[in-house]
């Protein structure tokens, strides 16, 4: 089914971005999978080519393209190039972290940070999760106690995407430990600050080329001028930006599912068993038909959500629907595609094996499936 949300300009962008990926990322992907981290230089190369943080206004060094259809083109092409894991660092920077700087920075902060975010010299990350808590952000233990014109920060975070590479960290803290949601604030931490320490690059089941780190803060002094918004607004700022974050994850999940199906369909046409292609058996045809149908339905919903996001009309409930359903679909497709590959599906030399392990984490990060259902259920009055 033809998707009609794209214009000729989007398709021209797609061709240019595909060329960039083939030149700069594809040749290095296996090395990054082995080393557990993507080269920092990729961010600068993407920024130089206009493929990073596109929504940064022109006056701050960006292209000023605030159209999330381009972001979806990016994730689709990353998945087609078998760069799902490596691409997460880029999309986190552009889709998830950038809105905090674009929307909530004051003029001085924008001039200080946005040019580097646009050109890839300043790699961003966001730190919410702590070792002792998952989605219960109001119970966080990381504190930022004001001391004159500085905040003194103590605590730790974990599972931080871009945690090894990042230069700027959006850090969720408690500026008033006696409060829950109302005590949360967001600080921007420059990672060369004394008292900031990176822990391990965590050893994940999949997504090996994307760095995920622990972080520790010991009497770290952060200038008061680095706060986003005002004290006590941290939770509300997170809530406002979470729909776009969850849309980014949902878009990648659907794009990844489409690519897994395409590679499996090709395999099913070529692989012979009992004198005929395995795709010609009724069970195989039915499985392929089911996946084609569900992915097409998901793409239709994603397109609708992108249009709503561009119009400023996407709400938390719709974003939660997209996030949980599309990531669960991604997992189902990964499992079915490995099964249709048979023994070869369990071999790392086949792309479907890596896709299978990479897909598993998406139902967890950016809010688990269960949390997404809770958000939707509460909106229904139950």
Catalytic machinery residues: 245
Q: How many CA atoms lie within 13 A of 171 on its CB side?
A: 35
Which residue from 317, 307, 312 is spatially nearest to 380, judged by alpha carbons?
Answer: 317
Q: How far apart are CA 353 and CA 262, in angstroms?
A: 14
Question: Computed over its alpha carbons, how large is the radius of gyration of the chain?
Answer: 21
| CB 366 within 8 Å of CB 249 | yes
Burial (Cβ within 10 Å: 0-12, 13-18, ≥19) of residue 262:
middle
Dihedral (Cα; 84, 76, 359, 338), 10-degree rounding: -100
In angstroms, rounded to a whole number, what is the distance separating the alpha carbons of residues 84 and 71? 14
* DSSP-derived pairing of the beta strands 184-190 and 168-174: antiparallel
3-class DSSP state of 197: strand
Q: Is 232 within 8 Å of 182 (Cβ atoms)?
A: yes
Phi/psi region, residue 219 (left: phi>0; alpha: psi -120 to 50; beta: rest), is left
Q: Are strands 168-174 and 124-127 parallel, antiparallel or unpaired?
A: parallel
Classify burial at 266, counting beta carbons within 10 Å of its beta carbon; exposed 0-12, middle 13-18, buried 19 or more.
Answer: exposed
């Amino acid at each position: 089914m033809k998707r009609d949300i794209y214009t000729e300009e989007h398709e021209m962008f797609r061709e240019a971005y595909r060329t960039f990926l083939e030149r700069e990322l594809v040749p290095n992907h296996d090395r990054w999978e082995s080393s557990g981290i993507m080269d920092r230089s990729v961010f600068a190369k993407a920024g130089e080519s206009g493929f990073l943080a596109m929504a940064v206004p022109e006056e701050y060094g960006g292209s000023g393209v605030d159209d999330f259809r381009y972001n979806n083109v990016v994730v689709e092409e990353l998945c087609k190039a078998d760069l799902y894991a490596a691409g997460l660092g880029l999309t986190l920077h552009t889709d998830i972290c950038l809105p905090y700087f674009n929307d909530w920075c004051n003029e001085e902060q924008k001039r200080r940070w946005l040019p580097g975010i646009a050109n890839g010299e300043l790699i961003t990350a966001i730190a919410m999760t702590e070792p002792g808590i998952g989605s219960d952000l109001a119970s966080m233990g990381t504190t930022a106690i004001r001391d004159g014109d500085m905040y003194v920060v103590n605590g730790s975070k974990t599972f931080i995407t871009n945690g090894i590479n990042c230069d700027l960290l959006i850090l969720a803290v408690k500026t008033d430990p006696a409060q829950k949601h109302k005590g949360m604030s967001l600080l921007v931490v420059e990672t060369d600050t004394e008292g900031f320490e990176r822990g391990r690059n965590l050893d994940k089941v999949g997504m090996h080329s994307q760095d995920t780190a622990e972080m520790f803060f010991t009497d770290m002094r952060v200038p008061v001028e680095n706060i986003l918004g005002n004290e006590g607004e941290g939770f509300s700022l997170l809530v406002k930006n979470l729909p776009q974050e969850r849309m980014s994850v949902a878009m990648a999940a659907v794009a990844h599912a489409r690519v897994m199906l395409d590679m499996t369909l090709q395999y099913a046409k070529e692989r012979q068993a009992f004198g005929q292609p395995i795709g010609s058996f009724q069970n195989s045809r039915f499985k392929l038909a089911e996946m084609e149908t569900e992915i097409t339905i998901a793409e239709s919903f994603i397109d609708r959500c992108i249009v709503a996001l561009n119009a400023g009309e996407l709400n938390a409930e719709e974003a939660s629907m997209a996030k949980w359903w599309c990531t669960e679909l991604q997992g189902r497709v990964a499992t079915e595609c490995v099964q249709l590959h048979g023994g070869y599906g369990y071999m790392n030399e086949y792309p479907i094996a890596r896709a299978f392990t990479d897909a598993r984490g998406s139902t967890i990060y950016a809010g688990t499936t269960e949390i997404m259902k809770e958000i939707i259920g509460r909106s229904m009055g139950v």
